[in-house]
Chain A
Amino acid sequence: MSNTILEASGLVKKFGDFVAVKDVSFTMQEGEVFGLLGPNGAGKSTTISMLTCLYPPSGGEMRIFGHDVVKDASEVKKLIGVVPQDIALYPTLNAIDNLRFFGEMYGLKGKDLKERVETVIAYVAMQERAKDAIKKYSGGMKRRINMAAGLVHNPKLLFLDEPTVGVDPQSRNHIFESVERLNKEQGMAILYTTHYMEEAERLCTRVAIIDRGQIIALDTPKNLIGMLGGGIIHIGMAREDEELRQAVAGLSAVRSAVFLPSAETAEGQTVRSVLKVEARQHANEALVQLIGLFNQKNAQILSLETLEPNLETVFLHLTGKSLRQ
């Protein structure tokens, strides 16, 4: 049975009247890659900031490896590594100088420091450019060194806050591979925040979906996606027809059917209704039944959209909005 290494219970963070995080609770197990998935401004970075001793919480409790994060911050800081969303590096210094500096901040020195710096530079595959000033790097290269700075003291728990923002596909892929290797080869636990559902699906053992400072769903990606059954179908209609909605909901291949709030057409004139249909197992089967029903009722379909079951769809299903909004 795996051990719990992180416990967050009822976390609250207020900045004046604004509540950035409301009652967030979750745990992380040893060796787990835990994802915090949510749109920009959802409260992911604030949650990480509290867990990494930057902000004290306005309420709630946090324990990492059994240490209280607020009362025993100095011990916690030695055990965790942080890769922030910003490129937190000195641009005029080269990668080696930057990594040496961060290593010294964690108390490394002498031969140990030199070896760790060489190891993490190799880990992010930046040996050839290690002596160049950071300001000469591409965005992706900076991200890789940013990540190396979080690994230089070989932490037991790594916080990765949106590590792929603004990076080229090659560096993005390299970061994915690094995360997978760190987790599989070294057993490092990783808390990964992102607003890209593909990343969460690929990397995370469990995902907490966060919106407006609250966790609205927490499970494995498979179980979260499973919430949607066979997928979601959006049917554009000229008007809300309650009789028709009830008929749709009664189809054997359909789990539920609800009208979404009114939306304007692309032309911005015709107001129509969107019927959101949740397929029970397979979207194709539901589609066949839906088209048959609409023909039978002589009802007009203005638009038809099928949404593939994934975390993005889950978020849409739970919040009614896109992750990238």
Chain B
Amino acid sequence: MRTISMLLNDLRIMVKDPFAFTVLLVLPMALMGPALLNYQSSGGETLDATPLMVANYDTGQVSLDLIKELDGNLKIEQNISGDILTQYNLQADARCAQPSAACDEAVGRARLADQSRPAILIIPEGLTAAFDTGEQTPVTLLYDPGSDAIKLTQIEKVCQGLAIKVALTKQLESAKGDFTDLSSIGSPEVRAEVANITSQPAAKNNKTAIHVDEVSPSNYKEKKDPGLLETIVPGNAVMFAFVIVIFINASVRDEKQSGLIRRLLSTPMGKADFLGGKLIYGMLTIFLQACILFGLGLSIGASRGMNFQFNLPAFLLLSLALSASATTLGLLFASTKLPQSLTFAPLFIGAILGGCFMSLDMLPAYLYPLSYLMPQRYAMTGYQDLLMRNAGVAGILPEAGILLLFAVVFLGIAIWRFDLTD
């Protein structure tokens, strides 16, 4: 009961303290929000989210096959209508009276001009017919040279590769017919055998002569560089979780210096009530902070077209473990006589060595081993596993376990060291 009173009292103080509110919530949101809002397609975004305008003047099967293949790799935009036409003043254009290749080309060129799309693919009329007669007909990839070079290269290579694939497939199909024609010059036995083979339906599980099974080791973790979302959201949440170290230390020091703790010790309140109240207060604050930052970050990310996967129970478990380690570190500091300025160390040193600002791979070799001593490292790894690899509860258990182990050690030292009468 007294623990709950301590908790409610600390929460009441925090709510009435604009500085605490600003540092715990507003500041991390202010750091995270603009970066996510300014996000342009890059980093962790997958290729199939890259848009490609297609203006298809051909009505034959080859162009349709090509577009179908492209659609599996890029986000194809065709048959534009509605608000987009209005946006580019094309609603009254004769080409856009109904969805057409000419209209798509007009919209595509306008979008290239305002740099909202990197490229437009123009498929000319008669592509299929030309293909059937063996003539080479080029398709045009019109691009903005000023746009993202990596994206452009990806689009170019995908278009080239898929054009070759479609062409080869068509040629193989026609070669099959040619092979049948050539058999007419063979003996009756050969013609009968060829007729027998070509008349049989294709086997349902027609496998290649050599099949490659893709098998990865059981403990393999996919190596993937984190994108903006996977860096900035967990980075802010983990770094600012350790602000609680400063707050708890300052709060306990203020209570000691003002005589409040002496006063409380003359009441039936005990050390366990005091530490318990502070512990729950800190954990609740950090847990809510993480939920708000992730909720906001992922909402902004989703609205900017970023892709991510998310396992809620795993997130809650990891956030709980993070809040426990951060809060108990605060209690540990409060149990010492270290200067208040040193409480900033876990915040910044932990953030750097824990990978909150940059990938751990970028740390100098002599600093890298130190990262294993930082709770931030395990929280970051766990959150990035959640976002990048869709890790479930089992997937983040090692990280959550290590964070809880930190918490147990920190709390043990804090209980041992804490002297309220000091």
Contacts and interface: CB of A to CB of B under 8 A. Distances in A.
Interface of A: 49, 52-55, 74, 77-78, 80, 82, 84-93, 97, 101-102, 104-107, 109, 133, 149
Contact of B268 (A49, A74, A89): A74
B20 to A, nearest CB: 10
A105 B269 contact: yes
B173 interface: no
A291 to B, nearest CB: 53
B46 interface: no
A89 B13 contact: no
Interface residues of B, number: 20
Q: Which of B264, B266, B268 has the most CB of A within 10 A?
A: B266
Nearest to A52: B266
A81 to B, nearest CB: 8
B2 A53 contact: no
Given A104-B2, A105-B2, A84 B268 contact: no
Interface in B131-175: none
Contact of B267 (A49, A87, A105, A109): A105
B263 interface: yes
Contact of B9 (A82, A101, A106, A133): A101
Interface in B226-273: 258-260, 262-269
B83 interface: no
Interface in B67-110: none
A91 to B, nearest CB: 8
Given A106-B267, A106-B268, A88 B258 contact: yes
A74 B263 CA distance: 14
A171 B17 CA distance: 29
Nearest to B263: A88
Contact of B17 (A87, A92, A106): A92
Nearest to B269: A105
B268 A54 contact: no
12 contacts: A49-B262, A52-B266, A53-B265, A54-B265, A77-B267, A86-B258, A88-B263, A89-B260, A90-B260, A92-B13, A93-B12, A97-B12
B259 A92 contact: no
The 6 nearest A-B residue pairs measured at CB: A86-B259, A88-B263, A104-B5, A105-B267, A82-B266, A52-B266
Contact of B421 (A54, A78, A92, A101): A54
Interface string B166-203: 00000000000000000000000000000000000000
Contacts of B13: 90, 92-93
Contacts of A55: 421
Nearest to B10: A90
Nearest to A85: B259
B209 interface: no
B16 interface: yes
B266 A80 contact: yes
B266 A53 contact: yes
Contacts of A106: 267-268
Contacts of B9: 90, 93, 97, 101
B275 to A, nearest CB: 15
A77 B16 contact: no
A88 B5 contact: no
B24 to A, nearest CB: 15
Contacts of A77: 266-268
Contacts of B16: 92-93, 133
A200 to B, nearest CB: 23
A52 B421 CA distance: 12
B399 to A, nearest CB: 37
B338 interface: no
Nearest to A153: B267
A53 B17 CA distance: 32
Contact of B258 (A52, A87, A93, A107): A87
Contact of A101 (B1, B5, B262): B5
A215 to B, nearest CB: 23
A78 B259 contact: no
Nearest to B2: A105
Contacts of A149: 263
